[in-house]
């Protein structure tokens, strides 16, 4: 198996990552090497093995639906890259 | 008296006996940081002023309270992936910009209530992805024992700060060895608790099915004290386990007679430095002399652990890191439309290793590859957990090296990601199986670098792990040695 630069580009788009052409090539080689290493898992027959879910048996953690955090608009907006009054300002989403 | 070298146990006794104030101790720690951190660079952010305020409040409580908490007035360093209210939290990434969290992680809230003093936020590999702190977006941290060497990672800043006496104890997180491997590299004690034992709420998520918070300390007893404060149920963490917290420090006896210690034959294979193997085998002999019963055990799927881990951890990371989109907090790049904004923000905000792991994780989860990689890895993860279940039928704890080598040179492995991943070989399976494990010093190599011993326990059996570790620690003075800074 050989991972191509185009394939890396496709995955990068899925992950919303822009890569330079140099990055695409070096990452294609590195990922290829890592994925090659992972092929060793195919030596194991796992057809009868259930996939892992939890390390420790736990049941769903339900709790009452009640507000515990104080709403604090200023504190939440303090980290916003862009804001307008009490809103986050973001690039246009619908053309 | 050399105040920064004190342990929690010693400092706490002195504080309660009025032989020392938290202010004196905190000032001594900041003097020590000022004298040494230019060289080591363990801290990203120092919190001197708030720490002195906390120390003052602690001194008042110490005068007032009859039974003050053990951590009252104790200076503790925090890895910079814990949310700390109002204090810049970076995760050693540019993408968080000047992020100052509006709330505390549960563990931080707990330590605040116990009156701990927070010295600052320590360096790590960006998003805790790495084994050397070389992946920090800001600067590498250096090993106090030899500044040409890495401190291990990803909690390398915390490990170095403890080793250099720049704090009394520290907090770390461990997803594949990130507490234990740096503890080994820096000659300190580090414990990764059972998955679910300590709240993950407010820890910046990397791989949620494996992330755990744990103590990094100068002695095993301190590790027990800090764990006792951190452990407990948290309704804000859906995988937190509601189970009584033992009084760990009372479990530390010198008696390990009859405890069955398993030695996995698969862990003593090629790739381990002979001096590491020698020190670990010597430690095993000491345990045997103390009354432990040795059992050779087998963990047959060990060789698959790294492949499994780097599929599952990257898959979870690619999902967890999708939140860094530049919209509500952190860095945002300027671009012509929304998609470009996402792509540029993430391109400029994330470093190479984080991008590599996001891509790998996106790839193994993408259409057509899910069954071949992700599902396959989860099946093999079951086999790895079954290996431990079977082994624990025959023993009460498992003893191994923490890492195959001592601290490597800065730059030695940074060009080869796969080679770097292999340094996690002895720690990763434990996260996959959700088990508790400690690393503590078991000697030095001929270059004067510390060697770590790992002790693995059954789920929630931190008491046995700590007891064996404490018993071993009593037999030597490795933990008392200090780097020459």
Closest Cα to residue B365, out of B320, B404, B410? B320
B425 is a domain residue: yes
For B324-427, where are the alpha helices, taking DSSP H only? Answer: 338-349, 352-365, 376-394, 417-421
B330 is a domain residue: no
Q: Tokens in use for A51?
A: 């996939």
Polymer length of chain A? 95
Mean pLDDT of B325-346: 95
CB contact under 8 A, B356 and A23: no
**Which of B347, B360, B460 minimises the CB distance to A18?**
B347
**Which of B103, B304, B356 minimises the CB distance to A40?**
B304
How many residue pairs from chains A and B have C-beta atoms closer than 8 A?
Answer: 156
Q: What is the pLDDT of residue A75?
A: 87
**Which of B239, B337, B385 minimises the CB distance to A52?**
B385
CB contact under 8 A, A91 and B366: no
Closest Cα to residue B311, out of B241, B256, B360? B360
Question: Tokens 């936020």 identify what position?
Answer: B121
B55 is a domain residue: yes
B201 is a domain residue: yes
- 8 Å CB contact between B184 and B452: yes
With a cut of 90, say whether residue B109 has pLDDT above it: yes
What ipTM does this complex have? 0.94
Any idea of the CA torsion for B77, B309, B393, B197, to the nearest 10 degrees? 30
B357 is a domain residue: no
Q: Tokens in use for B401?
A: 């090296």
Distance CA B245, CA B405 (A): 34
With a cut of 70, say whether residue B94 has pLDDT above it: yes
- Residue range of the domain that includes B442: 3-259+394-480
Q: How far is A90 from chain B (nearest CA, A)?
A: 6
Neighbours of A56 (CB within 10 A): 16
Residues of B in contact with A40 (CB under 8 A): 303-304, 307
Tell me which H or E stretch contains B416.
Answer: none
Q: What is the pLDDT of residue B20?
A: 97
Query: Tens digit of pLDDT for each residue in B8-47?
Result: 999 999 999 999 999 999 999 999 999 999 999 999 999 9
Q: Tokens in use for B272?
A: 């381990």
B370 is a domain residue: no
Question: What residues have CB less than 8 Å from B484, skipping those under 6 apart?
Answer: none
With a cut of 80, say whether residue B396 has pLDDT above it: yes
Residues 27-86 of A with CB under 8 A from B: 27, 30-31, 33-35, 37-38, 40-42, 44, 46, 49-52, 54-56, 58, 61, 63, 69, 72, 75-76, 78-82
Distance CA B64, CA B470 (A): 33
CB contact under 8 A, A81 and B332: yes
Mean pLDDT of A81-90: 95
Closest Cα to residue B341, out of A23, A18, A80, A86? A18
Query: Tens digit of pLDDT for each residue in B239-297?
Result: 999 999 999 999 998 889 999 999 999 988 777 899 999 999 999 999 999 999 999 99
Q: How far is CA B234 from CA B115, B239, B305, B462, in A?
A: 20, 9, 30, 19
CB contact under 8 A, A18 and B344: yes
Query: Tens digit of pLDDT for each residue in B158-176?
Result: 999 999 999 999 999 999 9
Q: What is the pLDDT of residue A23?
A: 87
With a cut of 90, say whether residue A62 has pLDDT above it: no
Q: What is the pLDDT of residue B472?
A: 97
Question: Tokens 């080994």 identify what position?
Answer: B184
Q: Tokens in use for B200?
A: 């993950």
Residues of B in contact with A21 (CB under 8 A): none
Identify the CATH number of the domain in which residue B194 sits.
3.90.1300.10
What's the pLDDT band for B71 if we cut at 50, 70, 90? very high
B405 is a domain residue: yes
Q: Tokens in use for A83?
A: 């804001």
Question: What residues have CB less than 8 Å from B325, skipping those under 6 apart?
Answer: A16, B342, B345, B346
Q: What percent of chain B has pLDDT over 90?
A: 94
Mean pLDDT of B411-434: 89
With a cut of 80, say whether residue A6 has pLDDT above it: yes
Distance CA B461, CA B260 (A): 14
Distance CA B141, CA B139 (A): 7
Any idea of the CA torsion for A18, A22, A23, A26, to the nearest 10 degrees? 150
Q: What is the pLDDT of residue B423?
A: 81
Question: What residues have CB less than 8 Å from A71, skipping those under 6 apart?
Answer: none
- 8 Å CB contact between B33 and B43: yes
Q: What is the pLDDT of residue A5?
A: 85
Q: For chain B, what is the radius of gyration of the CA atoms? A: 21
Distance CA B230, CA B485 (A): 31
Tell me which H or E stretch contains B474.
Answer: helix B462-474
> Which residues of B are designated catalytic?
79, 154, 178
Q: What is the pLDDT of residue B466?
A: 98
Q: Tokens in use for B157?
A: 């800043």
Distance CA B476, CA B339 (A): 59
3-state secondary structure of B10: helix
Distance CA B235, CA B233 (A): 7
Q: Tokens in use for B129?
A: 């992805």
B362 is a domain residue: no
With a cut of 70, say whether residue B128 has pLDDT above it: yes
Residues 2-21 of A with CB under 8 A from B: 8, 11-12, 14-19
Q: What percent of chain B has pLDDT over 70?
A: 100
Tell me which H or E stretch contains B172.
Answer: strand B169-174
Averaged pLDDT of chain B: 96
- 8 Å CB contact between B119 and B46: yes
Please give the tally of structural domains in chain B.
1
Q: How far is A45 from chain B (nearest CA, A)?
A: 9
Q: What is the pLDDT of residue A1?
A: 60
Residues of A in contact with B383 (CB under 8 A): 44, 46, 49
């Amino acid at each position: 198996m050989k991972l191509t630069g185009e394939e890396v580009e496709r995955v990068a788009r899925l992950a919303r990552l822009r890569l330079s052409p140099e990055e695409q090539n070096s990452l294609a080689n590195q990922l290829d090497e890592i994925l090659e290493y992972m092929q060793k898992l195919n030596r194991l027959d796992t057809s009868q093995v259930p996939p892992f879910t939890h390390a420790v048996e736990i049941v769903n953690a339900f709790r009452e639906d009640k507000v515990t955090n104080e709403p604090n608009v200023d504190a939440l907006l303090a980290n916003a890259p862009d804001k307008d009054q009490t809103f986050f300002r973001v690039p246009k989403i619908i053309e | 008296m050399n105040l920064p070298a004190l342990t929690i146990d010693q400092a706490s006794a002195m504080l309660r006996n009025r032989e020392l104030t938290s202010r004196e101790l905190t000032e001594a720690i900041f003097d020590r940081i000022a004298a040494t951190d230019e060289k080591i660079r363990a801290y990203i952010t120092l919190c001197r002023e708030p720490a002195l305020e906390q120390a003052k409040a602690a001194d008042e409580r110490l005068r007032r309270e009859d039974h003050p908490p053990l951590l009252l007035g104790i200076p503790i360093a925090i890895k910079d992936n814990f949310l700390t209210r109002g204090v810049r939290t970076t995760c050693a990434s540019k993408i968080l910009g000047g992020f100052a969290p509006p709330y505390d992680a549960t563990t931080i809230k707990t330590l605040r209530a116990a009156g701990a003093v927070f010295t600052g936020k320590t360096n790590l590999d960006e998003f805790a992805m790495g084994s050397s702190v070389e992946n920090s977006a800001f600067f590498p941290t250096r090993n106090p024992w030899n500044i040409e060497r890495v401190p291990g990672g990803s909690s390398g800043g915390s490990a170095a700060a403890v080793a250099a006496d720049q704090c009394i104890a520290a907090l770390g997180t461990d997803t594949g060895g990130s507490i234990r491997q740096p503890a080994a590299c820096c000659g300190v004690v580090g414990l990764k608790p059972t998955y679910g034992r300590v709240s993950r709420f407010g820890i910046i998520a990397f791989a949620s099915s494996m992330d755990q918070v744990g103590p990094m300390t100068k002695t095993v007893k301190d590790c027990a004290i800090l764990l006792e404060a951190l452990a407990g149920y948290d309704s804000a963490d859906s995988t937190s386990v509601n189970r009584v917290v033992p009084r760990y420090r009372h479990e530390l006896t010198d008696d390990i007679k009859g405890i069955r210690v398993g030695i996995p034959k698969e862990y003593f294979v090629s790739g381990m430095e002979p001096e590491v193997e020698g020190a670990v085998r010597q430690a095993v002999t000491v345990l045997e002399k103390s009354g432990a019963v040795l059992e050779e055990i087998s963990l047959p799927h060990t060789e698959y652990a790294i492949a499994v881990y780097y599929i599952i951890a990257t898959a979870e990371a690619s999902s967890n890191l999708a939140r860094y989109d530049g919209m509500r907090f952190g860095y945002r790049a300027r671009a012509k439309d929304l998609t470009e904004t996402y792509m540029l923000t993430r391109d400029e905000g994330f470093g190479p290793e984080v991008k590599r792991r996001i891509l790998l994780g996106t790839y193994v989860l993408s259409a057509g590859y899910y069954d071949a990689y992700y599902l396959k890895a989860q099946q093999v993860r079951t086999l790895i957990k079954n290996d431990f279940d079977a082994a624990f039928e025959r023993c009460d704890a498992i003893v191994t090296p923490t890492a195959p080598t001592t601290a490597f040179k800065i730059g030695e492995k940074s060009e080869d990601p796969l080679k770097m991943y292999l340094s996690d070989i002895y720690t990763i399976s434990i996260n996959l199986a959700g088990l508790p494990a400690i690393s503590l010093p078991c000697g030095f190599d001929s270059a004067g670098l510390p060697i770590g011993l790992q002790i693995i326990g059954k789920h929630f059996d931190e008491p046995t792990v700590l007891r064996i570790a404490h018993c071993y620690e009593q037999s030597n003075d490795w933990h008392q040695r200090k780097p020459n800074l």
